[in-house]
Amino acid sequence: MNQLEQLKQYTTVVADTGDFQSIRRYSPQDSTTNPSLILRAVQKDAYHALLEKTVRDNRDKSTAAIMDRLLVAFGVEILKIVPGRVSTETDARLSFDTEGSIEKGRELIALYNEAGIPNERVLIKIASTWEGVRAAEVLQKEGIRCNMTLMFSLPQAVACAEANVQLISPFVGRIYDWYKKQTGQEYTGESDPGVQSVKKIYNYYRKFGYPTEVMGASFRNTSQIVELAGCDLLTISPELLQKLSDSDAPVTRKLSPEQAKQDSVERVSYDEKTFRLALNDDAMATEKLSEGIRLFCADTVKLEKMIDELR
């Protein structure tokens, strides 16, 4: 078996792309999208027609409403390919707006429902800010499942678990990027700070019995992926899915609930004040969370401009 086939023995593989052709090629269980991936997709001839059709069919609606319909249009097409779920992101500009995030989550799931897609096949992606976690807590109680993104620290993960969210997406590659820039060092295998962060979160969840799913995300190389074999899910770009398919090097399980129970981590809990202080104390998490929100906001604005140019 190649590495991708071996990985699928231990972990649910998710495609991190808006490219339908790539999703078909690698047969993942689920697929994730974000504003940057959708922006990249609609710039290709194969997907620009979907943007044009969405605008043409909704000219009487606001730019924001057309944007929502574009995201859902991609999601609906993806769900024709994958047997599981698709993740669709709320507007990153709502990252510090609890009520706005709740309303956007409701609007997106309503559009999916109108297209005949049940709630259980959709994950609403929300940034792992304090406000985002509170929004997800409300949505989860309404039967709207959430995927908490832009996660870089254990305090964020703990807050999400205590809010009973469906799934979290701790970022590996962006943590790696930060430490590499700070130290000038290359990191591989278990020494990679991004890998260590996900392992810590996974072990914490499994040791204390939280049902929230852990999906490692934002990978820079296959070493990071292989080192997290056994994580509940891993969302992987088409480029790295291809590299895994091209290699027959052995993949062994690195994470398991049994091993997690032996971890020495202690249980913690956060209210708003202690959460903000803990996040502030982590320079990497603070910087990468802010940067991630800025980048997603910028790409959302670019998408809106493309929509306006077609109206």
Q: What is the DSSP string of the chain?
A: --HHHHHTTTSEEEEE-S-HHHHHHH--SEEE--HHHHHHHHTSHHHHHHHHHHHHHTTTS-HHHHHHHHHHHHHHHHHTT-SS-EEEEPPGGGTT-HHHHHHHHHHHHHHHHHTT--GGGEEEEEE-SHHHHHHHHHHHHTT--EEEEEE-SHHHHHHHHHTT-SEEEEBSHHHHHHHHHHH-----GGG-HHHHHHHHHHHHHHHTT---EEEEB--SSHHHHHTTTTSSEEEE-HHHHHHHHH----------HHHHTT--PPP----HHHHHHHHHH-HHHHHHHHHHHHHHHHHHHHHHHHHHHH-
- φ/ψ of 124, rounded to 5, equals -90, 120
The most distant pair of C-alpha atoms in the chain lies apart, rounded to whole Å, by 58
- Rounded Cα gap, residues 183 and 153, in angstroms: 19
If you search the block for the tokens 């140019």, which residue do you land on?
A: 309
Catalytic (active site) residue 125: yes
Catalytic residue, candidates 8, 61, 104, 125: 125
Provide the annotated active-site residues. Answer: 125
